[in-house]
Each structure stands twice: as structure tokens, then as C-alpha cells.
């Protein structure tokens, strides 16, 4: 089976998990969406847990790459922080989906341990990047950066959840504007 099939399965699983979470991943439905036989998915992913690990890992790896691209393109840390909410907004722009790892975090008790680890890594990657940007001289002190980074991550993910629950991306934008007005994010 071609590596393209594996990539197609991961792409379909990502879209599904952003809309229905880990529990929404169904091999038969994914196979139909990709245009392969249901049993063919098992060639790449022997179990649902293996698929969950792969899709969550790919998700946080892609997120880390986007964050590094933001840093590389913007030497100004305030500019980097202003762009962070856009990384979560993209999921809402895609048929009112949410962050895959946020959805899976809501299912945490039912996740296999290996999937839990990948979901936690997504949060850790985001918090570490935010903390690094925040600890740049002139923003906030290094001692305060991790706590502020966690607050920003939680606030942005929460804004995404609220906006999704109302299918209203304008609500997301308004909440982000409120975070800026309150000083959580730079204006």
C-alpha cells in the first residue's frame, strides 16, 4: 500500500477528529472517505489507538512547525504573540472545527495512554513556545512566562470552544480582542 494512502488516512482522521474527537474515528468511515477497503487501514494503523497516536502526533508536529515559522518570520515577540490566536482560528474557518487535541482532551478519560501523551504534548509545545516568546526581554520576566503562557493557551483554546458551540467565528474574534484589551495578549 502506498505512503499516499497513509497520508490520506491521516488527513481524513484529522478532519474527523476535529469534528467528532477520538471516539468519532471509525475505520470503515475513514476507508470510505479515502476510497480504500476498511481492512486496508489496518496495514498502516493496526489499531484505533495507533491511528489516534499518529494523528495527534502529526497534529502537534504541524503546530510546532507553524509556531517556529511565526518566530522565524517575526523577530518582534509582540508580533509573534499577536499571531498566535490565528493558529486556532484556522480550525474554526474549516467548517467550524476545533483543535484536534482540544477535542481529544475533552475525551481524556477514554483515551488510550499513548494518545493521552500526544494530546499533552500538543499543550506542552504551545505553552513552551509561548513561554519562550514571552520571556524575550521587554515582554515579561522569565519567572512569570510559563504561568502567562498557560493562561494564554487556555484562554485561546477556550475562545475556540465558545465560538464553536455557537458556530460563530466573530465571537472568537471578539474574545481575542477582549484578551488584548485586558492585557493578556499584546494589542
Please name each of the domains of the chain with its CATH number: 55-182 (1.10.357.10)
Q: What is the mean pLDDT of residues 145-149?
A: 94
Of 1-5, 101-105, 171-175, where does mean pLDDT reach its minimum?
Answer: 1-5
Whether 85 and 98 have beta carbons less than 8 Å apart is answered as: no
pLDDT digits (tens, 9 = 90+) for 22-75: 999 999 999 999 999 988 899 999 999 999 999 999 999 999 999 999 999 998
For residue 186, what pLDDT band results from cuts at 50, 70 and 90? Answer: confident
Radius of gyration of the chain measured on its C-alpha atoms:
18
Q: Is 101 exposed, middle or buried (0-12, 13-18, 19+ CB in 10 A)?
A: buried
8, 14, 18, 55, 109 from 22: Cα distances, Å: 17, 10, 9, 10, 11
Whether 108 and 119 have beta carbons less than 8 Å apart is answered as: yes
Cell 478519560 locates to 109
DSSP letter (8 states) at residue 96: T
Q: What is the mean pLDDT of residues 109-124?
A: 96
Question: Which pLDDT score is estimated for 3?
Answer: 65
DSSP letter (8 states) at residue 47: S
Cell 513561554 locates to 131
Q: Check pLDDT > 60 for residue 97.
A: yes
Cell of 110: 477514554
Tell me, rounded to whole angstroms, the distance of Cα 152 from its chain centroid: 14
Alpha carbon distance 56, 32 (integer Å): 21
pTM: 0.91
Amino acid at each position: 500500500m502506498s505512503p499516499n494512502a497513509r497520508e490520506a488516512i491521516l488527513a481524513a482522521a484529522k478532519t474527523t477528529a476535529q469534528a467528532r474527537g477520538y471516539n468519532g474515528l471509525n475505520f470503515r468511515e475513514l476507508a470510505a472517505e479515502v476510497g480504500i477497503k476498511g481492512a486496508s487501514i489496518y496495514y498502516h494503523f493496526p489499531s484505533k489507538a495507533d491511528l489516534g497516536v499518529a494523528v495527534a502526533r502529526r497534529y502537534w508536529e504541524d503546530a510546532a512547525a507553524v509556531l517556529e515559522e511565526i518566530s522565524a518570520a517575526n523577530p518582534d515577540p509582540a508580533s509573534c504573540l499577536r499571531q498566535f490566536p490565528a493558529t486556532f482560528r484556522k480550525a474554526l474557518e474549516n467548517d467550524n472545527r476545533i483543535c484536534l487535541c482540544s477535542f481529544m482532551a475533552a475525551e481524556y478519560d477514554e483515551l488510550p495512554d499513548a494518545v493521552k501523551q500526544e494530546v499533552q504534548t500538543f499543550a506542552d509545545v504551545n505553552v513552551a513556545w509561548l513561554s519562550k516568546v514571552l520571556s524575550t526581554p521587554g515582554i515579561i520576566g522569565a519567572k512569570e512566562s510559563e504561568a502567562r503562557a498557560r493562561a494564554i493557551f487556555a484562554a485561546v483554546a477556550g475562545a475556540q470552544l465558545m465560538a464553536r458551540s455557537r458556530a460563530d467565528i466573530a465571537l472568537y474574534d471578539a474574545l481575542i480582542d477582549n484578551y488584548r484589551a485586558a492585557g493578556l495578549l499584546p494589542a
